[in-house]
């Protein structure tokens, strides 16, 4: 059953399909459910960039079924469990919440994604399984009406972006079973979960049926029933057992800011004329910096001394003309000499560390 505000829709009703009174977001979500309930075998989804540049891929039904089964087995979900879908159902995380409800024969409350997903529920509302992003958790912890409802959740999974150490400590105080997820579109949501205990580092344990390994570059290689073939990721990990690993960082330069995957090279091309205007032929690059709420934020690093008449606000204003809000550098750093590789290229990782 899917519950939208005061409306309760059985899966049989959704299978027949008539929900014209609902706003577009819910109509799109219910259309996916109708397709699923009527046996559709393949779905098109946009990847986020975990295994390379974002692209559209086809996900088969059996992959999603395997993912739902593995998660259900991990959490020992029983029929008639109460779920909440507060993630965007156009993306894999939201779609999988709907699939889980249909496969587990559960009741799921469906709401449009927002910063305070628990705000509209009564204080005695209980949920057996909920998925959120870090920003939603942080907002709920800061909201006097939402915090008690977090305590009414049995199992809580959090994904889309890394959790700050401070937020991990706050989540660990909650009585619910909380886990940080590891996964991507290609693996049909998460393939591993790390119990949030408030201590670092997080140790990820793979779902049933998932096999992990690393290549010569210590990149995580995944073989799983929810993936069509073995996947080599851009994540550097340390494997501590056949079922457990510690995430160390990215092997590429992709920035994950609140779940939005940002490609530095693309931003660098867009801002080239602005940088040249102020700094002539100075070298520069886009990197990531820590952010307490979003995990990472975009920063710009320029090989130059800071100008005496430097006006950061005006410069950022110029950049916003050519960049989306999420891609605009939040900070600008000046370094007199970049660190280089033996071949003379900019060593981005080591140079960026000089700003920390």
Check whether residue 346 and residue 245 sit in a common domain: no
Model confidence band, residue 64 (pLDDT cutoffs 50, 70, 90): very high
Can you give the pLDDT at residue 295?
Answer: 85
Each residue's pLDDT tens digit, 165-174? 778 889 999 9
pLDDT above 70 for 194: yes
Model confidence band, residue 161 (pLDDT cutoffs 50, 70, 90): confident
Can you give the pLDDT at residue 51?
Answer: 56
CATH code: domain of residue 330:
3.30.300.30
Check whether residue 243 and residue 272 sit in a common domain: no
How far is 292 from 306, CA to CA, in rounded Å? 26
Which of 41, 32, 43 minimizes the C-alpha distance to 2? 32
Check whether residue 83 and residue 97 sit in a common domain: yes
How much of the chain exceeds pLDDT 70, in percent?
Answer: 97
Check whether residue 174 and residue 284 sit in a common domain: no
Can you give the pLDDT at residue 258?
Answer: 83
pLDDT above 60 for 164: yes
How far is 338 from 228, CA to CA, in rounded Å? 42
Domain boundary among 229, 250, 271: 250
Which of 301, 293, 287, 194 minimizes the C-alpha distance to 244? 194
Residue 129 CB burial class (10 angstroms; 0-12, 13-18, ≥19): buried
Check whether residue 79 and residue 215 sit in a common domain: yes
Can you give the pLDDT at residue 268?
Answer: 87
Is residue 258 within 8 Å of 215, Cβ to Cβ?
Answer: no
Can you give the pLDDT at residue 52?
Answer: 57
How many helices and strands in the chain, by DSSP H and E?
10, 20
Across 117-143, average pLDDT? 92
Check whether residue 49 and residue 134 sit in a common domain: yes
Check whether residue 196 and residue 301 sit in a common domain: no
Both tokens of residue 255? 């920035």
The whole domain housing 220 covers 2-250
Check whether residue 277 and residue 243 sit in a common domain: no
Domain count, the chain: 2
């Amino acid at each position: 059953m899917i519950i939208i505000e005061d409306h309760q829709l059985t899966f049989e009703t959704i299978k027949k399909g008539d929900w014209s009174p609902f706003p577009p977001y819910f109509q799109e979500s219910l259309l996916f459910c109708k397709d699923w309930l009527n046996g559709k075998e393949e779905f098109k989804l946009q990847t986020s960039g975990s295994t390379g540049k974002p692209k559209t891929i086809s996900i088969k039904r059996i992959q999603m079924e395997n993912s739902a089964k593995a998660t259900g087995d991990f959490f020992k979900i029983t029929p008639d469990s109460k779920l909440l879908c507060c993630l965007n159902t156009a993306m894999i995380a939201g779609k999988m919440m709907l699939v889980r409800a249909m496969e587990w024969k559960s009741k799921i409350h469906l709401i449009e994604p927002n910063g305070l997903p628990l705000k509209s529920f009564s204080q005695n509302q209980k949920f057996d399984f909920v998925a959120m992003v870090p920003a939603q958790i942080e907002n709920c912890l800061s909201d006097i009406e939402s915090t008690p409802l977090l305590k009414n959740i049995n199992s809580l999974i959090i994904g889309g972006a890394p959790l700050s150490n401070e937020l991990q400590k706050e989540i660990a105080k909650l009585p619910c079973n909380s886990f940080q997820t590891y996964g991507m579109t290609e693996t049909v949501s998460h393939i591993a979960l790390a119990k949030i205990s408030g201590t670092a580092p997080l140790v990820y344990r793979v779902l049933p049926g998932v096999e992990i390994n690393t290549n010569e570059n210590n990149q995580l290689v995944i073989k799983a029933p929810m993936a069509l073939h073995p996947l080599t990721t851009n994540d550097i990990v340390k494997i501590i057992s056949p079922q457990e690993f510690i995430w160390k960082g990215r092997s590429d330069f992709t920035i994950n800011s609140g779940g939005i995957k940002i490609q530095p090279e693309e931003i660098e091309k867009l801002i080239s004329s602005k940088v040249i205007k102020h700094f002539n032929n100075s070298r520069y690059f886009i990197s990531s910096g820590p952010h307490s709420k979003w995990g990472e934020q975009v920063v710009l690093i320029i090989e130059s001394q800071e100008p005496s008449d430097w006006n950061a606000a005006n410069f950022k204003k110029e950049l916003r003309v050519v960049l989306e809000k999420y891609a605009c550098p939040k900070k600008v750093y000046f370094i007199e000499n970049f660190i280089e590789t033996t071949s003379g290229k900019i060593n981005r990782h080591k140079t960026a560390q000089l700003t920390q």
